[in-house]
Structure 1
Amino acid sequence: MADDGFAALRLHSDAEFQSWLARDVEARDELYELIGHELGIGPASLDELEAFLLNRYPGPDDALRLDQRPVTDAAARHTGLVLVLGINGATWDIDLTDTDDAYYRLPVVRLPDGSAECPLSLVTAALDRRTGDYLSGVTGYLIEQHDTAD
């Protein structure tokens, strides 16, 4: 597996994934404290998150530095939350078996059609593209393409 910068963020077992899930609120609260307030739960909140990230990091490599991984992880968690709450049947998942999977050992949001979106990959792509609305654009599109939660 090529080094994509995500190696240190990959989880190694279902137990580790369950621990990661259990720490979700705490991790996001730490991010909201850095931002100065809690973010909303809709796609529009992702523009504010993206502005914060673009201000903080010149590029994805800076966000993946060891000392910044908690912030990047929390940003991915918030992005995933928007997807999970916006799409009926979307759930957090992880692939611990298929070493050829691009998201092997990374938390993903499993969509109702079986496809997966990796919020960490979305966050780093937003830092690479630097548009300011990448996260909301992608998640908004995904929500439109699936049955939405009301």
Structure 2
Amino acid sequence: MTDEEFEAWLDDMHPRLARFEDFLMPTGWTPGFTRESLEELEQYALNRWPDSDAFLEEADLDWIDGAMRYIGEAYLRIGGGGWYVENKPGTAFSGVPVVRLDTIDPFPISPRHLLTALLHRRTGGVLAQVYDGQLLEVQERREAEGPDWEPTRLPVPGITPPEHDPGDTPERDAWAARVDERIEALRAHAGEHGRDLDLSPESLSVLERLAEADLTTPRLDARSEAGAELVAQYASYLGAVLLRQAPGQWSLRPGEAGTDPFVGHPFLKRVDEHGTPRTGLVHSAVEHLTQQRDPGLFAAVLRAYAG
């Protein structure tokens, strides 16, 4: 990975993490960059691959990239520091993104190599062991620096709060202006089930059943005007539920919709009590259902956004 490729890799951090959390891990998984979420991630990998050879043979690059990012970010959230890449030949992690925490003697941690190690050792505790070790390193520096010391993070696009979000656009305003109208249209479309769409978290199970009936059918063309409007109605309702649970705002970055869920797709954004940006990829989640069923998806989007 060249320096230029690494910068592009960092620029993709936010959408790739969101894709990993919302679509590449099971809906029952509880993200949040916690020690427990790392244990669940490790157990998922152990259940999926019987050994490191099977992991390397399958080479699910999309999942591997997301897992690397998630593991590294989990450590950075407890110890500060940042992402690096070393391109000198002969170094242990040459060409692979690593994290170095804001500790007294930071050692590079390679999430990619940890994935192979956990599949080889098969103890279920590799990622948590590293997490615990870094907590001790942070405490050691705090004892050296004083009780008020806190780790410092290097900025990463979409992860550390930006000064300006390009999603605050006229396109966003046009979308937000029609949210209430689309929710009412969805209630009318739902018939007798419309009364159950009361914008409560519990109503998401009803919404998901209706969406699966409407969207996971070969007859639906999400690219048609009618199909796109139906997707927009479901996304509007899901977004309204999220906003009731945690105040935030709509965002829409103009551009052609593709694999990046933050371009051409309306989503929600907020900053939580820890200063960490959180997003609700409501439109991408609804579009996902046009391709395959994914039980519990809407509830998972709510958890990712509201915490």
Query: What corresponds to 1:92 in structure 2?
Result: 83
Moved over 6 A (4+): none
Aligned residue number for residue 95 of structure 2: 105
State the aligned residue count: 137
In the TM superposition, what are the counterparts of 1:42-81 in structure 2 within 5 Å? Answer: 42-65=34-57, 67-81=59-73
> Structure 1 residue 66: deviation in Å?
6.0
Cα displacement string for residues 79-107 of structure 1 (whole angstroms, at most 9, x for unaligned residues): 1001111103x2100112x2111100100
Q: How many Å separate the matches in 1 of 2:125 and 2:58?
A: 26
Higher relative CO (Cα under 8 Å, sequence separation at least 6) belongs to 1
Larger CA Rg, structure 1 vs 2: 2
Aligned partners of 1:106 and 1:132: how far apart in 2? 24
SS class of match (1:105): coil
- 5+ residue gaps, structure 2, are 140-149, 152-273, 275-307
Aligned amino acid, residue 94 of structure 1: V
When the two chains are superposed, the root-mean-square deviation of aligned CA atoms in Å is 2.0
2:14 is aligned with 1:22: no
Helix, strand or coil at the partner of 2:86: coil
Task: From the superposition, tell whether residues 132 and 118 of structure 1 become closer, same or farther in structure 2 (CA, over 3 Å).
Answer: same
Q: Which residue of structure 1 lines up, in the alignment, with residue 196 of structure 2?
A: none
Is the 1:29–1:38 Cα contact (8 Å) retained in structure 2?
no
Q: Secondary structure at the match of 2:35?
A: coil
Q: Does 1:132 align with 2:121?
A: no
Q: For structure 1, which runs of at least 5 residues remain unmatched after alignment?
A: 1-10
1:38, CA displacement in angstroms? Answer: 5.6
Query: Alignment partner of 1:132: what SS?
Result: coil
Q: TM-score, normalised by structure 1?
A: 0.81
* Contact 1:63–1:72, Cα closer than 8 Å, also in 2: no
